[in-house]
Amino acid sequence: MENKKIIKRSVDFAKWYTSIISEANLIEYGLVKGTMIFKPYSWSIWTNIQDILNSYFKEMGIENCSMPLFIPYSEFLKEAKHIEGFAPELFKVTEIGEKRIEDPYVIRPTSEIMFCHYFSKNILSYNDLPLILNQWSNVFRVEKNTRPFLRNSEFFWQEQHGIFSNEKEALDFTKKMINLYKKFIEEYLCIPVLMGKKTEYERFAGADETFTVEAIMQDGQALQCGTSHYLNQNFSKKFNIKFQNKSNQFEYGYQNSAGVSTRLIGAIIMSHSDDNGLVLPPKIAPVQIKINSLFADKSIEVKNFCKELSTNLSQKFNVKIDDTDKSIGFKLSEGEVSGIPIQINIGPKDLENGSLALVYRHDRSKEILNIKDVDINFIEKKLDLISKELYKKAKENLDKRIVEVSTLADFNENISLGNFVSAFWSGTEEDEKKLKETTGASSRCISDETKQGVCFFTGKKTNLKVFFARAY
Amino acid sequence: MENKKIIKRSVDFAKWYTSIISEANLIEYGLVKGTMIFKPYSWSIWTNIQDILNSYFKEMGIENCSMPLFIPYSEFLKEAKHIEGFAPELFKVTEIGEKRIEDPYVIRPTSEIMFCHYFSKNILSYNDLPLILNQWSNVFRVEKNTRPFLRNSEFFWQEQHGIFSNEKEALDFTKKMINLYKKFIEEYLCIPVLMGKKTEYERFAGADETFTVEAIMQDGQALQCGTSHYLNQNFSKKFNIKFQNKSNQFEYGYQNSAGVSTRLIGAIIMSHSDDNGLVLPPKIAPVQIKINSLFADKSIEVKNFCKELSTNLSQKFNVKIDDTDKSIGFKLSEGEVSGIPIQINIGPKDLENGSLALVYRHDRSKEILNIKDVDINFIEKKLDLISKELYKKAKENLDKRIVEVSTLADFNENISLGNFVSAFWSGTEEDEKKLKETTGASSRCISDETKQGVCFFTGKKTNLKVFFARAY
């Protein structure tokens, strides 16, 4: 049973995206422009992401904490580059009750300043280092054109902030974080990414280096999935964060910061979903298995068997029983729109035949199996296979879109085709700005390749190779 | 080794409270008045509380979601009583970047309005009911006198909002929530509470009934630990939340809401802690067992044994090894100030003797045991016993402070003694207001007792009995 409310990708990819979001019950809009209500289904995807990352954070010695939402505007003016980067995007509290306040409160666009304040008060000597913290929170940025999960005035993220006693440790940890993001996004979200440094122009305001993981969506637009910044002493100098080093001298700390956000949910949708609805990677799916019972109201055997199967599989997976009196077609299509990896249909006939019909979301295939074969072990293997197949399909999309170009004409053509263009680059920040304005393409990350070539834009020799694409 | 920085309770209870908070590394102040940084230790207490309540919420069919922080001020004006209750306490965003906005955004003091908005869009028929949601979030209220965990401009809580198809279901669920809070606070936080209805004067703005759980702190002041509100159709009528009932007529939904907040951490501190530092209930302690290794640097046996013991106990408990080169006295006192339920000292001599020294925080007792006896089973029993003993001690404080009075003189005397006064009451809201202004005591909850008596304030006959106390 096809869901007519879902727009076809080929007709209008943007409309398809928003139709998936509403049909799969992910989002309801808030009352203020650019704000969203996370319905239980999307919030549960986000909390699954949190749980997985938290387990890695624990292994890495990252401790969770919580910073205040309000930051005095005056504090923002301390880090020039930082404020430059954020000024136009700030929400400001200027009234308390009916009273106006002198120094407005900025609603955090990020908590760099608060972490710096914290570090300055909690670090005395090298014994206190490294101090590696993280916060899961809502952050706020004014957005002209908002889009669920991708651009919202309020969104959720994790921001990890670490302070170290030397450059190497800080830089190593910066890389450790971007590698964790790559692993997480590829293994758990089944989305292949390109990993690399940002160009100076695309770098985070206040960072010496920004590392990024970039994915390509089904429409050929890139999506930045996570970033890790090496801040060196830029913030510690501005916020006077000193520690006494082993030779008893006061030294400014070396910092990093890194984060991923609810944008990841947008990446999941645009990487895997199809014209029939959402497709969720098994490892973060709120419901991994939906048991559609048929005539459960009439057949006590069916009702009991569903309960039994659910109890058994629930030991390891998120299982949901649908024993409403809706038609089987309706039940299947609900499960399909919601992107549930595996649906199992169970009716009186199936029990007679001792067989079950399994329906797989990722390739819409169907399989009839003996009841006894459908156990935890089978489901586990199947879900792993589904993850691999989702990744493989997304990887094919990425690979076929990576195109090397050497002329501006080729560049323009491939960008408009929705490709991930790799090219030698020796342009200035000005050039990059101009290129973005004229072609809509931005540099996503620097390639590891080191051989020399000629910049397609300036014609100069260079050994810098950069990936460009239109991006969300 | 005594921590001199901790003020004695007998000297100044308020200063004792704040000294515990700083010495136990719970809080760092934010940059805006009334905001706090939750250090990893206190944040981990809060996340433990979240995990436990979430498991109960799941059983009760409560789904987590997330509402936007911003609410248009105009929406607030819809529910007169509601705005009346909050107006002076609101933070308002009036500037975006440098631009002023027409309809300011209120920073949520609660999300009633957003949940109502959500319900109005997601409820069509009785089939959609009950719909029971919850959100874990930060909320904001302007506070003149702020105090960590107890009164903060920004604090964290859970707010559960349910909508039902009839009065009975809604009221039953309202009671179910307050009973859950009682169970949780008594069993997990080891704090005994009085449970009952609020008087009309103390009721939540917009509710028909407010149920509360009230605890008494060591200084005799009451602390409201959680509330559950029966909202009837008050909000559904204001926000036009209708559903089609079984007889196909449109009917306004029946709502409840309930919540507990980071105040609970304040309650934990003031219920159990002593002049030596924090005392944490085992079930929510971030570190349940601290292993203090002695000369681990010199003795590889000690190092290995600590590792082994920790690995073993970590299967079931939160264990931390302290193998720094600090002195044993220093290690013990750090563990004591942090309120870690059990500390285990391990040095070369202990291994020779095959014995271990265990130190218990709640009663500061010490016990020497054979190594082989210190296993998961022993620790489990011990932690349960500690929980029971903490509860018992707090219960004794509660019981001895509950005093029945029949005259205003007795009332005044017992209130100033820091007692939980029980008295017959027939006063008006005005009387209650006056009583609060003159004695500093507020009505905490209504007693279940139904026998008749004479109101100590009005002299009138009544069968309403109320608990009064000074409260945080």
- pLDDT at residue A128, as a whole number: 94
Residues B273-303 have pLDDT tens digits of 999 999 999 999 999 999 999 876 778 899 9
A337 neighbors A22 (Cβ within 8 angstroms): no
Per CB-CB distance under 8 Å, the chain A contacts of B107 are: 69, 93, 107
The tens digit of pLDDT for each residue in B66-103 reads 999 999 998 888 766 666 666 678 899 998 887 888 88
Extract the tokens encoding B83: 């705005």
Tokens of B153: 């401009």
Cβ within 8 Å, pair B37-A65: yes
* Residue B424 to residue B405: CA distance in whole angstroms: 8
Contacts of B149 in chain A (CB under 8 A): none
Burial class (CB in 10 A: 0-12, 13-18, 19+), A257: buried
Asked if B267 contacts B25 with a C-beta cutoff of 8 angstroms, the reply is no
Residue A426: C-alpha distances to residues A326, A403, A461, A466, B298 (Å) = 62, 18, 7, 9, 57
Whether residue A72 contacts residue A103, with contact meaning beta carbons closer than 8 Å, is answered with: yes
What's the mean pLDDT in B314-322?
Answer: 97
Mean of pLDDT over chain A: 95
What sign does the CA torsion over A277, A282, A287, A291 have? positive
Average pLDDT, chain B: 95
Instruction: Provide the CATH topology of domain A402-469.
Output: Translation Initiation Factor IF3 (3.30.110)
- How many contacts does A have with B, using Cβ atoms within 8 A? 153
Q: Whole-angstrom Cα distance, residue A368 to residue A378?
A: 13
Q: How many residues does chain A have?
A: 472
User: Is residue B4 exposed (0-12), middle (13-18) or buried (19+ Cβ within 10 Å)?
Assistant: exposed
Question: Token match 């300043």: residue?
Answer: A113
Neighbours of B17 (CB within 10 A): 23
Q: Which residues contact B104 (CB under 8 A, 6 or more apart)?
A: A95, B72, B73, B92, B93, B94
Domain at A13-272, CATH class: alpha beta
Sign for the CA dihedral angle at B450, B454, B456, B457 comes to positive
Per the CB < 8 A criterion, the answer to whether A177 and A258 are in contact is yes
Contact A213, A225 (CB under 8 A): yes
The stretch A107-112 carries a mean pLDDT of 94
Confidence band for A306, pLDDT divided at 50, 70 and 90:
very high
Banded pLDDT at A295 (limits 50, 70, 90): confident
Torsion of CA A64, A68, A73, A76, to 10 degrees: -10
A43 touches B at CB < 8 Å: yes
| pLDDT value of residue A98 | 78
Query: How many CB atoms lie under 10 A from the CB of residue A96?
Result: 17
Mean pLDDT of B309-338: 95
In 3-state terms, chain B is what percent helix, strand and coil (to 5)? Answer: 40, 30, 35
pLDDT at B82: 62
pLDDT above 70 covers a percentage of chain A that reads 97
For B198-239, the pLDDT digits (tens) are 999 999 988 999 999 999 999 999 999 999 999 999 999 999
Taking the CA of residue A273 as centre, how many other CA atoms within 13 Å lie in the half-sphere pointing to its CB?
A: 30
pLDDT for residue A360:
98
- pLDDT one-digit tens code per residue, A377-411: 999 999 999 999 999 999 999 999 999 999 999 99
Residue B323 has pLDDT above 70, yes or no: yes
The answer to which of A97-106, A367-376, A459-468 has the lowest mean pLDDT is A97-106
CA dist A232 and B431 (Å) reads: 63
The sign of the CA dihedral B82, B83, B89, B94 is positive
- Is the minimum CB–CB distance between B142 and chain A shorter than 8 Å? yes
Residue A94 forms contact with B (CB below 8 Å): yes
* Contacts for A140 with CB less than 8 Å, ≥ 6 apart: A91, A107, A108, A109, A153, A154, B69
> 10 Å Cβ neighbour count for B397?
17
Indicate if the pLDDT at residue B339 is higher than 80.
Answer: yes
- Contact between A51 and A318 (Cβ < 8 Å): no
pLDDT at A15 exceeding the cut of 70 = yes
Contacts with A63 from chain B: Cβ below 8 Å: 40, 44
Question: Which A residues, 57 through 76, put their C-beta within 8 Å of a C-beta on chain B?
Answer: 63-72, 75
For B18-33, what is each residue's pLDDT tens digit? 999 999 999 999 999 9
Given a contact cutoff of 8 angstroms between Cβ atoms, the answer to whether A270 and A223 are in contact is: yes
Query: Measured between CB atoms, does A389 come within 8 Å of chain B?
Result: no
Instruction: Provide the 10 A C-beta neighbour count for residue B353.
Output: 12
Which residues in chain B have their CB less than 8 angstroms from residue A23's CB?
none
List the one residue out of A434, A444, A451, A432 whose CA is nearest residue A470: A444
CA pair distance B250, B242, nearest whole angstrom = 6
Q: What is the mean pLDDT of the segment spanning B125-148?
A: 94
pLDDT above 90 covers what percent of chain A?
A: 88
Query: What pLDDT does residue A148 have?
Result: 96
Q: Is B459 on the interface with A (CB under 8 A)?
A: no
Q: CB of B338 within 8 A of CB of B25?
A: yes
- Find chain B residues with C-beta within 8 A of A32's C-beta: 68, 70-72, 105
* The pLDDT of residue A368 is above 70: yes
Q: What is the spatial distance between Cα A213 and Cα B322, in angstroms, rounded to a whole number?
A: 37
Cis link prior to B40 (omega < 30° from 0)?
Answer: no
Average pLDDT over residues A94-101: 86
pLDDT confidence tier of residue A296, bands split at 50, 70 and 90: low
| Residue (of B251, B255, B188, B172) closest to B225 by Cα position | B188
- Closest approach of chain B CAs to the CA of A326, in angstroms? 12
The β-bridge partners of B214 are: B194, B224
Contact B193, B184 (CB under 8 A): no
Q: Which CATH number is associated with domain A287-384?
A: 3.40.50.800
Q: Give yes or no for a contact between A150 and A225, defined as CB atoms under 8 angstroms apart.
A: no
Asked if B201 contacts B429 with a C-beta cutoff of 8 angstroms, the reply is yes
Partner residue opposite A28 with nearest CB, options B90, B113, B121: B121
- At residue B401, what is the residue type? R
Environment class of A168 (CB within 10 Å of its CB; exposed 0-12, middle 13-18, buried 19+): exposed
Range from A78-82, A181-185, B406-410 carrying the lowest mean pLDDT: A78-82
**Are B95 and A91 in contact (CB < 8 Å)?**
yes
Distance CA A387, CA B18 (A): 51
Predicted confidence at residue A143, as pLDDT, reads: 86
What mean pLDDT is predicted for residues A297-301?
A: 82
Mutate which: A69, A111, A125, vs B, most B CBs within 10 A: A69
Sign of CA dihedral B53, B195, B113, B88: negative
Give the nearest partner residue to B107 out of A28, A93, A113, using CB atoms.
A93
Q: What pLDDT sits at residue B289? A: 98
What is the distance between the alpha carbons of residues B204 and B201, in angstroms, rounded to a whole number?
9
Are A470 and A214 spatial neighbours (Cβ–Cβ below 8 Å)?
A: no
Cis? peptide before B348, omega within 30° of 0: no
Would you say residue A297 has pLDDT above 80? no
pLDDT tens-digit map of B351-393 = 999 999 999 999 999 999 999 999 999 999 999 999 999 999 9
Check if the beta carbon of residue A253 is closer than 8 Å to that of residue A164: yes
| Tens-digit pLDDT profile for residues B102-112 | 889 999 999 99
Query: What mean pLDDT do residues B157-175 have?
Result: 98
pTM of the model: 0.96
Say if residue A347's pLDDT is above 70.
Answer: yes
* Residue B40 burial (CB count, 10 A): 18
A54 to chain B, minimum CA–CA distance in Å? 12
Q: Do B30 and A94 touch (CB under 8 A)?
A: no
Q: Per-residue pLDDT tens for A311-342?
A: 999 999 999 999 888 899 999 999 999 999 99
For residues A424 and A456, the answer to whether their CB atoms sit within 8 Å is: yes
Nearest to B133 among A40, A91, A95 (CB): A40
Confidence of residue A215 (pLDDT cuts 50, 70, 90): very high
What is the Cα gyration radius of chain A?
A: 25
Interface of B with A in 95-124 (CB under 8 A): 95-97, 104-105, 107, 113-114, 117-118, 121-122
Distance (Å, rounded) from C-alpha B15 to C-alpha A468?
59
Q: Contacts of residue B156 in chain A, CB cutoff 8 Å?
A: 66
pLDDT of residue B70: 97
Strands across the sheet containing B402-404:
B402-404, B420-424, B465-469, B442-446
Domain ranges of chain A: 13-272, 287-384, 402-469
% helix / strand / coil in chain A, to the nearest 5? Answer: 40, 30, 35
The answer, yes or no, to whether residue A85 has pLDDT greater than 70, is: no
